[in-house]
Amino acid sequence: MQLEFEKVGPALWEIPRTGDMQVPARIYATAEMMKSIRSDPAAQQAANVACMQGIVGASLAMPDIHWGYGFPIGGVAAFDAKDGVISPGGVGYDINCGVRLMASKLTRAEVLPRLRELVNQLFRDIPTGVGAEGSVSVSVEELKRVVVEGAAWAVRNGLGSESDLEFIEERGCIRGADPAHVSARAWERGREQLGTLGSGNHFLEVGYVEEIYDPEQAAVLGLFKDQVTIIIHCGSRGFGYQICDDYLAVMDRASRKYGMKLPDRQLACAPIQSPEGQAYLGAMQCAINYAFANRETIAHNARLAFAKALRAKPEEVGLRTVYEIAHNIAKFEMHVVNGKERRLCVHRKGATRAFAAGHPEIPAQYRAIGQPVLIPGDMGRYSFVLTGTAKAMEETFGSTCHGAGRMLSRNQAKHAAKGRDVIRELESQGVIVRGQSRRSVDEEIPEAYKDVTDVVEACELAGISHKVAKLKPMCCIKG
């Protein structure tokens, strides 16, 4: 189907309702970005999502949109909590993939002399790679406690800090997790992987605050120029992957059982209130809490690694959690639609929650400025700290972008990196990278991604998030 695009805002385009679309599809992007998005199959995916039962408002896509399983990555879709559907394709395989930002008391100048020691220590202490196993091994019975308690489990077991919890989405634990709906294979995969980054685009990056755009908001977040920071980007590892895989098969059968009219089989779904929908919710929420516990454990080990490498006490380094937020998740939230408040199941797949100032789910310390939004870039460029806006609440169910957005497939990236020494190139730019293999680094070359600056600027132009600070990488570990 040939898609029509109408410009309806400074950085907003609409695909009008046609055929089986229940609502329009809207894409946040600049005119320059739209040159490639128009022919991207992800735009068709956004239109396909608009055909789903119970969808509310519009099928939305952020500037970092690219092709995904069923739903586009960079997609947001909200469904009525009673009459709508829930779909694993709208969350993704890596359930609760998300980002934690930590800030230290140290400046770039204080860390630079020991930077290589630091990256090596982090690489030793935080397992990376496809099948990486962590120092934390738990029984299935204990893992059932992990997935109900989330980050608090790590804190209770000496693998985290109580002070972190206030600054994690949902305080690091979502209600409703039901271990009864998780398969034996998922339990087995999850037992050995707590405290591990995994592979692909997951990483731990040490950087510094290069530029501050909003000094008042930066001060509220405790950010200052040249301050050393950590970004942790990972999710629920093999545990979440297995849950997604298990429920794609369940939802495929459910779609036929409930007579779902879908333009793409990958949009397999079930009514939220159906037995299949409730089972997926219970299992997905287990994976959400697993990811919270995983990032808390990694943060704990990063604090210890910093102290070892810098030969300092942890309190002298002063690493604290600024915020942690998911970008692959489905959650029940209250939103105003056509002047009426409604309970919705908001799917964000490669999109970040961006609640405006005053929202009760924002930590009290930040409530006056809006929810922090953490946008990682690629290894060679920047990451950003943003805040949510009132316009995001009005237009996007309180959502914005999640990162740079992939432009090249992993195979294309490997081909582009052929004959190059990517690690040396990055080091010449001031970024030391440690990875499990040259291939894993080649797959994540900077040019495999859109420029995250362009993505963030498009969201700022659209008014759905507000720039606070820009972070520049110093070193990075990855799978």
Annotated catalytic residues are: 402
Question: In angstroms, rounded to a whole number, what is the distance separating the alpha carbons of residues 442 and 422?
Answer: 7
The CA distance from 130 to 479, in Å, is 7
Residue ranges of E strands in 203-312? 203-212, 227-234, 270-271
- Assign residue 339 a region (left: φ > 0; alpha: ψ between -120 and 50; beta: otherwise): left
Residue 332's nearest CA partner among 82, 121, 117, 119 is: 82
How many whole angstroms separate alpha carbon 261 and alpha carbon 249?
17
Q: Identify the CA nearest to 449 among candidates 349, 375, 378.
A: 378
The span from the CA of 268 to the CA of 85, in Å, is: 10
Say which residues have a Cβ less than 8 Å from residue 18's Cβ, sequence separation at least 6: 1, 4
Which residues pair with residue 373 across a beta bridge?
Answer: 386
8 A C-beta contact, residue 405 and residue 455: yes
Contact 240, 329 (CB under 8 A): no
Residue type, 326: A
